Amino acid sequence: MKTSALDCLARGLHSLRANWELVPLVWLQQFLVMLLSVASVIAFLLPFGLGTGTLQNLGAMNAQELEGWLADAAADLPRLLPALSLGLLASLLVGLLAFLVFCWFQAGVIAVLTAGERQALPGAPRNWRLFRTFEGRAFTAWAARYSSRFFWFYNLYLLVVSGLVLVWALVAVLAGWAWDRWGVPAAVGIGCGASLPLVFLLLVTVGWFCLAQADLARDGASVRIASRRALDVLARRWPGLLLLLAVYFGFSLLVGFGTAPLSLVLPQPLSDGFAAYCLGQVVLIGFQVVVSSVANLAFLGAMVAMMQSELRQAAGSPAEPPLPVPPAGRTGEALS
């Protein structure tokens, strides 16, 4: 018997409640990734001498002054080229480290959610305590064991999305060329005619991504196996997946619109100073991150529940045995 989309969402919420330690871990993940991302940008800008004071001066420049500053920087570019090359290399390395940190945490989070989903009884959730599987040593062991899968899967996803963006850019160029040659009707025909299948492919890509990453933290899985299984499940459960995506994006919009008025009462850069403005934005973004991370974990739990439901049905077994917690000093036991 399939688990309905709403039951999958309820199971995701139960799993989040049972493994609440994942919430501060996700906050730590986002903080470290943000910190490393900022460090990556700073490493790239340092050859230009862009400190905090310089950035504030740039913000105060008008269009003509900014144009003159850019012209002076372009004139000094040959002298800065060796340092710029080192800065670019350092920026790429720090950016790669941020990506690896993200994959490591993501692997551990989804592994814990997968273990909790396997341990609980199938169907509508009965007791949130049945989903309790979090243990510090298990999290780090599973994160180390499965992080490489997530690294390559996210690279594959970025490659697919980049391909869609490239095709969309080509369509825009062709539509512009048709506008000049044959007029508006031809441009609209090319743009709309090509955008419809591209939107469909984008929706399929998002659904495939959500389901495939929820299946990576299992023993015997791989990027290829998880991707193929995600497409199979997507073909059968696309109405339920669309419902879950609608709930998730609806909640995200509610958080965004609900916190938008706060920006009006927070310090403003001109009247209250640049430092006070930055502090207010940090508080606002921090609140949004706290709320959105809880929603992300619940959605991930729902995706894991949907994939595990399909696996149980394909195997013909009503339930699976609980996942043992790996002992200290060893990698995580297999999620089979």
* Domains: count for the chain: 1
- Can you spell out the DSSP letters for 152-176? HHHHHHHHHHHHHHHHHHHHHHHHH
209 within some domain: yes
Tell me the pLDDT tens digit for each residue of 275-304. Answer: 676 777 777 777 788 888 899 999 999 999
| pLDDT (tens place) for every residue of the chain, 336 residues total | 678 899 999 999 999 999 999 999 999 999 999 999 989 988 887 766 654 445 555 555 556 666 666 676 667 667 767 777 888 888 899 999 999 999 999 999 999 999 999 888 888 888 899 999 999 999 999 999 999 999 999 999 999 999 999 999 998 888 888 888 888 888 888 888 888 899 999 999 999 999 999 999 988 889 999 999 999 999 999 999 999 999 999 988 887 777 777 766 666 665 666 667 677 777 777 778 888 889 999 999 999 999 998 888 776 644 444 444 444 444 333 343
What is the per-residue pLDDT for 152? 96
In 10 A of CB 234, how many CB atoms? 19
User: Is pTM, for the whole model, over 0.85?
Assistant: no
What is the spatial distance between Cα 208 and Cα 311, in angstroms, rounded to a whole number? 16
170 within some domain: yes
35 within some domain: yes
Q: What 3-state DSSP class applies to 15?
A: helix
80 within some domain: no
Beta strands in 104-202 (DSSP E): none
327 within some domain: no
What is the per-residue pLDDT for 71? 73
Q: How far apart are the first and last CA of the chain?
A: 20
- The whole domain housing 147 covers 5-42+95-315
311 within some domain: yes
228 within some domain: yes
Pseudo-torsion of CA 256, 258, 259, 260, nearest 10°? Answer: 80
What is the per-residue pLDDT for 279? 76
Report helix angle 77-119 to 5-18, nearest 10.
Answer: 100
